[in-house]
Amino acid sequence: MLDILHRVGIKSPLAEVYKALTTREGLAAWWTINTQGESNKVGGVIHFPFSAPDGKELGFFDMKVLELHPAKRVLWQVVDGPKEWIGTKVSFDLKQEGDYAMVLFKQQGWKEPVEFMHHCSTKWAIYLMSLKSLVETGKGNPNPNDTNISGIWD
Amino acid sequence: MLDILHRVGIKSPLAEVYKALTTREGLAAWWTINTQGESNKVGGVIHFPFSAPDGKELGFFDMKVLELHPAKRVLWQVVDGPKEWIGTKVSFDLKQEGDYAMVLFKQQGWKEPVEFMHHCSTKWAIYLMSLKSLVETGKGNPNPNDTNISGIWD
């Protein structure tokens, strides 16, 4: 089993980062604008649809909320979406270091190191920088206003 | 053994990307300004020193060039630097897709999923976006003008 790992540091109290990870408004402001569902309740399912800048639908991820520990940890499991994602778990572990909220990110449980995993790894970095921007400046870059990293919208 | 994977697509012929990966001038324009050594010869060693914006030295990576396949593949192995990096291999596999040079990146052989690996994964994404910017626009963001992702220079 293979994991995608990342870390960003956000100049912020932990509570602000936790809010951006656990409210519909927060998630919609850094990951994907049309985020729907129940993000702040264990057992809830969050629907994350993505589109190209021209409006074309690209797909979605549905995540079940498995753990919510305020200011400390969020854990989701993918219950629907691309077949390579289903069953993988996405976690955000938070800790304060000086003025910074450190976010340790993991998407665990990829079965094969397919090209799509390479793409998603880079894309997660871009979205985590969007989370950092949102919390630090009030403005993130959620889909469909995100950075195209590959010349392909997928 | 654990790997960092990424993919970016660069609107460019493969030869331009290969040049940015195998010449001192190219590497200095997207990864670290003070790149030194022999980057275009199998068996050569490239020295990549990093510093903070205030000039403080942060460390370095020394990479031995193991493979050079023009417009196709570059493989390095870390021979000196942080202990977690030594022995790991860094590869760039290139292929054309329409107008885009697709770069599949891998740093393979991490022994443990330490926090530094999380940091380096995110940082590689940032530097690969700098490579993309360099080739597409003529301007990259090499260290020490790179994006600080964590509030800490390390």
pLDDT tens-digit series, residues A40-96 = 999 999 999 999 999 999 999 999 999 999 999 999 999 999 999 999 999 999 999
Q: Which of A4, A5, A115 to mutate to test the interface with B (most CBs of B within 10 A)?
A: A5
Beta pairing partners, B104: B7, B93
Q: What is the pLDDT of residue A152?
A: 73
pLDDT of residue B154: 54
pLDDT tens digits for range A19-36: 999 999 999 999 999 999
Contact indicator for A48, A27 with CB cutoff of 8 Å = yes
Q: Do A151 and B100 touch (CB under 8 A)?
A: yes
**Is B113 within 8 Å of A10 when comparing Cβ atoms?**
no
| DSSP reduced 3-state for B151 | coil
For residue A94, the model assigns a pLDDT of: 98
Q: Using the beta-carbon criterion (under 8 Å), do B3 and A5 form an inter-chain contact?
A: no
Structure confidence by residue, pLDDT tens digits, A96-105: 999 999 999 9
Partners of B9 in beta bridges: B102
Minimum distance, in Å, between the CA of residue B141 and any CA atom of chain A: 15
For residue A136, pLDDT over 90 is answered with yes
d(CA B113, CA A112): 18
Q: B149 and A9: CB-CB below 8 Å?
A: yes
pLDDT, one tens digit per residue, over B70-89 is: 999 999 999 999 999 999 99
From chain B, which residues contact A within 8 Å (Cβ)? 2-11, 97-100, 102, 104-106, 113, 115, 117-119, 121-122, 125-126, 128-129, 132, 147, 149-152
- Nearest CB among B3, B10, B121 relative to A6 is that of B121
Q: Report how far residue B120's alpha carbon sits from residue B125's, in angstroms, rounded to the nearest whole number.
A: 9
Output the CA–CA distances (angstroms, integers) from residue A98 to A14, B11, B26, in the order listed: 11, 40, 36
| Global ipTM | 0.97
- Phi first, then psi, for residue B86 (nearest 5°) are -60, 130
Taking only the tens place, the pLDDT of each residue in B101-153 is 999 999 999 999 999 999 999 999 999 999 999 999 999 999 999 999 988 76
Chain A residue closest to B6 (CA)? A118
* Per-residue model confidence (pLDDT) at position B152: 73
Using only C-alpha atoms, chain A has a radius of gyration, in whole angstroms, of: 14
Residue type, A49: P
- Measure in Å the smallest separation between the Cα of A64 and chain B Cα atoms: 24
pLDDT at position B129 is: 98
Q: What angle do CA B45, B51, B52 make, to 5 degrees?
A: 160
Half-sphere exposure of A26 (CA within 13 A, CB side): 18
Q: Give the type of residue at B113.
A: P
Q: Which residue of A has its CA nearest to B102?
A: A150
**Residues of chain B contacting A11 with CB distance shorter than 8 Å:** 151
List residues of chain A with CB under 8 Å from any CB of chain B.
Answer: 2-11, 97-100, 102, 104-106, 113, 115, 117-119, 121-122, 125-126, 128-129, 132, 147, 149-152
The two tokens of residue A95 are: 């800790």
Nearest CA in chain A to B136: A151
pLDDT at A73: 98
Residues 6+ apart with CB under 8 A from B120: B4, B85, B107
Q: Which residues of A touch B152 (CB under 8 A)?
A: 9, 97, 100
Cβ-defined contact of B100 to A3 (cutoff 8 Å): no
